[in-house]
Structure formats: structure tokens, C-alpha cells
Structure 1
Amino acid sequence: MILPDHARLMARYNRWQNESLYAAADALGGDARLADRGAFFRSIHETLAHILWADRIWLSRFGKCEKPACAGHETLKLWPDWEGLKADRQAMDDVVEAWAAGFSEDDLRGNLEWYSGAAGRNMARPVWLLVTHIFNHQTHHRGQVHAMLTSAGARPDDTDLFLME
């Protein structure tokens, strides 16, 4: 099991890394951000939109925001423009940090039940495991974005957790 301080640390890391990636992506034009780069979600823009979509899906299950009104592969319906995506990402980072700040050890020991579209059935898992999953999912896809940005000539910051101040 993780402790509340770990969730708070990962929420800070989430914001720090999002700020880095979005700043690096800002240096590229819209066509470069939307170019199909062979990633699972094709482009920089779409992969960043997927991360935000997934954060909203998960945080909606915890009662912290509204569920997105589209499937995970349709994120350009929600965020067709870069500025809207950036603004919603910043707002979600506030939600993620407030959510993590509110955890107690008892909260993390509890279970969450939800219907999983990916699994096609009702699920129940320990909260600490799902919190770990949410932050792991973000990190996984941000790594893909980091690689796409680097190959496009942008310069995102380092990703090492120990370098975060």
C-alpha cells in the first residue's frame, strides 16, 4: 500500500511534468503537434489529450469531476484546439493536487467500485492501487510525448523525480 504523502508527491510530479511538456510543445506549431508520429494515439496533441481524458475518467469515478463526453480515442472532439487543451490540463492538475491532498491512510485502504468500459464489466479494486495506476498511466504516456517532442526538435525538461524541486 502507498501512503498519502506518495500520492501528493506524484500529483506534484504530474504538474511539473505537464508544465514541461506543454511548454516544449508550445515551441512547435499546430501542424507539428498534430502530425501523426506513429504513437498509439498518433500525435503529441492527441496523446496529451488522452492523458487528460483518462485523468477525467478516473477522477469522475472518485466524484471529483465530470466524466468526459466521448470515448478515449475521440479526444479531439473535446480538445480540437491547443489553447483549450492547455487550459483544461492546468485546471485538471489543480483537481489532481486537491484530490491527492485530501487522502488519509484510511481512504487509501478502501475500495472503489466502477464499471470499466475497457474490461466490459463492473470492477472493484483498492484505492491505493488505482491511485498508483492513475499516476503510472500519466507517466507512461508522457514518456511517449517526451520522445515525440524530442524527435520533433523540442526540448522538454528532464523527467527524473529526484530533480523536482
Structure 2
Amino acid sequence: MITGDYARQMARYGHWQNTQLSGFLQALPQDELTRERGAFFGSILGTANHLLWGDWIWISRFDKGQGPGGGIPESVSLCADLAAWLALRERIDARIADWAEGLPEGLLSGPFSWFSAAKEAEVVRPYAQCVIHMFNHQTHHRGQLHQMLTETGSDAPVSDLVFLPEDV
């Protein structure tokens, strides 16, 4: 279905996207970051927090490291402010990159199991499907952030995968 190269490229892409996003978020006043926008996760910061929480929960499942704690409802308040979000975003992106670099090809063809608090059950799915889900989840929520940034009058990050710089 996918290869380790796919995971490594998507980790690079996610980091590139998050680096661009960070710059746009830092340019916004605090009230724009926290304004309720009618989005599923409320504000720009709430959505950015949920995106980061989702990455953290999935990478903790993959690398068996520390997870974020809490559940989806608490995800919007993961970081109280942008400074905390920026620092944690860098740490989680580095963790995803490290995991992808060491990902053995054979692992992708096997099953993956975890306890889902949302389902309150043990879940087993193909490992590759879970990896694809993590990266798809990122893209989905960055699309929401792109829309909200546009609504503020801000420019938004270039999101086309085909424009991913080789040196990122």
C-alpha cells in the first residue's frame, strides 16, 4: 500500500507545512488566534491544538513514547498560548521525522493495534492505513486553518505537495 519513503516524505511535508503555518500564526494578533470562528474546534488556536494533539497521540502509538493525555474534547486546550504551541509543534515534528527515518518496510504490511479512548475498545487496523490516517488528518486540519487564516485577511501557506522543497 505505502512504503517507508512515503512516510518520510510526508513527515518532511508536514514539517514544512507546520513551519510555514507557524510564521502566519505568529503574525496574527492574539484575539485573531482565539476568536470563535464556528469551526469544529472553534478558533485558529483550538484547531492548531487539535492538529498537534492528533499528531502527538498517533506518534505516541507508533513509537510507544509519551502521549498527550486527555481526549478529543481536551485537545483544543493542549497549549494555552502560541509560544507553547510553537515549542511543542517542533518537538512533535522532530519525533515524527525520527520515527519515519527508522520505519522498517516490513512493519507497514502488518497489523497495528491500540486502545481507542474514543471507541473505548482495542482497535486493530493495517499499520499502513494508520500511517496514512495520521498524515491525512494533518492535511484535513491544516486545510481548515488555511481557510480561517484567509478569513483573517492573512495569506496562508503554500500547501501543494508538489512544491515541497528538496532541502526541507
Query: Normalising by the residue count of structure 1, what TM-score does the alignment of the two structures yield?
Result: 0.95
CA distance in 1, matches of 2:42, 2:159: 22
Summarize deviations over 1:52-80 as a string: whole Å, max 9, x none.
11111111112343121222221354311
Cα distance in structure 1, aligned partners of 2:76 and 2:7: 29
* Structure 2 residue runs without a partner (length 5+): none
Aligned to 1:7: 7
Q: Which amino acid aligns with 2:161?
A: L
The 5 A counterparts of 1:80-95 are: 80-95=80-95
Q: Is the Cα–Cα contact under 8 Å of residues 149 and 155 in structure 1 kept in the other structure? A: yes
Q: Which residue of 2 aligns with 1:44?
A: 44
| Matched length | 165
Deviates further, 73-82 or 92-101 = 73-82
Structure 2 counterpart of 1:10, which letter? M
CA offsets 1:9-36 (integer angstroms, 9 cap, x no match): 1001100111111111111011110111
| Residues 47 and 76, structure 2, Cα contact 8 Å, conserved in 1 | no
Q: CA deviation at 1:117?
A: 1.7
Say whether the 8 Å CA contact 1:49–1:79 is kept in structure 2: yes
Report the equivalent of 1:121: 121
Distance, in Å, in 1 between the alignment partners of 2:12 and 2:64 is 17
How high is the sequence identity, in percent, across the aligned residues?
Answer: 43
Distance 2:69 2:121 in 1: 19
SS at match of 2:87: helix
Q: TM-score, normalised by structure 2?
A: 0.93
RMSD: 1.2
Instruction: Say whether the 8 Å CA contact 2:149–2:155 is kept in structure 1.
Output: yes
- Cα distance in 2, alignment partners of residues 161 and 62 from structure 1: 24
User: Which residue in the other structure is 1:164 paired with?
Assistant: 164
5+ residue gaps in structure 1? none
